[in-house]
A and B are shown apart, each in its own frame.
Chain A
Amino acid sequence: GEQVEQLPSSLIVQEGASVLINCSYTDSASVYFPWYKQEPGKRLQFIIDIRSNMERKQTQRLTLLFDKKTKHLSLHITATQPGDSAIYFCSASNNRIFFGDGTQLVVKP
């Protein structure tokens, strides 16, 4: 079945820095890739998504890039703030939804 891998597993940055979270998947049948954010002790919340017929999507400080050929996604967060501290999950969806193990981001003030 589908396997979703995220790297890095954790990163610590200073406020204002940009970060890049990478995600790869294995099943070429996956067509939809939502990302979720989980703040400490909270529920997962949808933050951005992209479909397999797109290459790029941007919303506010988030930019999501998708390479169908290499089965790779990357989430770019600019001008990070302490409120961005959370676990970020990549997911891939075909007939089922598969999650990566998450990337823990800590933004220091």
Chain B
Amino acid sequence: EAAVTQSPRNKVAVTGGKVTLSCNQTNNHNNMYWYRQDTGHGLRLIHYSYGAGSTEKGDIPDGYKASRPSQENFSLILELATPSQTSVYFCASGDAWGGRAETLYFGSGTRLTVL
């Protein structure tokens, strides 16, 4: 089974601080995704990547940056964290090009609280 590992599991940050969420996958998947999950909104796509060196904006990219330095690692960066970014963040990897027939493998999530 695909292994996607997120760190940290929980994070408390202060408003205006910088937060980096990390994701590592060990299955050589090309595609990786960052979602946030909030009650009443389901899963919303923040950024995604088709491979090392590539990042693409999802549906709600404002306030977030992403970095894909290698096939295995995909980071989500909040340069200036705000309380509205308090949420649970999920990383996922996928095993097909273009998403046309792609099953996603999710990490366990990072619960971020911005005070």
Contacts and interface: CB of A to CB of B under 8 A. Distances in A.
19 contacts: A34-B102, A34-B104, A43-B107, A44-B43, A44-B104, A44-B106, A46-B103, A46-B104, A46-B105, A89-B42, A89-B43, A93-B100, A93-B102, A94-B100, A96-B45, A97-B104, A99-B42, A100-B42, A101-B42
Interface in B76-94: 90, 92, 94
A43 B106 contact: yes
Given A43-B108, A44-B90, A44-B104, A96 B99 contact: yes
Sorting the interface of chain A by its residue count into under 10, 10 to 19, 20 to 34 or 35 or more gives: 20 to 34
Interface of A: 31-32, 34, 36, 42-46, 49, 51, 89, 93-97, 99-102
B99 A94 contact: yes
A55 B101 CA distance: 16
A97 B106 contact: no
Contacts of A34: 102-104
A89 B100 CA distance: 18
A103 B45 CA distance: 19
A93 B107 CA distance: 20
A31 B101 contact: yes
Interface size class of chain B, counting residues whose CB lies under 8 Å from the partner chain: 20 to 34
| 3 residue pairs, one from A and one from B, having the closest CB atoms | A101-B42, A32-B101, A43-B106
Interface string B41-68: 1110100000000000000000000000
Contacts of B107: 43
A45 B106 contact: yes
Contacts of A44: 43, 90, 92, 104, 106
Contact of A95 (B33, B41, B100, B105): B100
Nearest to B40: A101
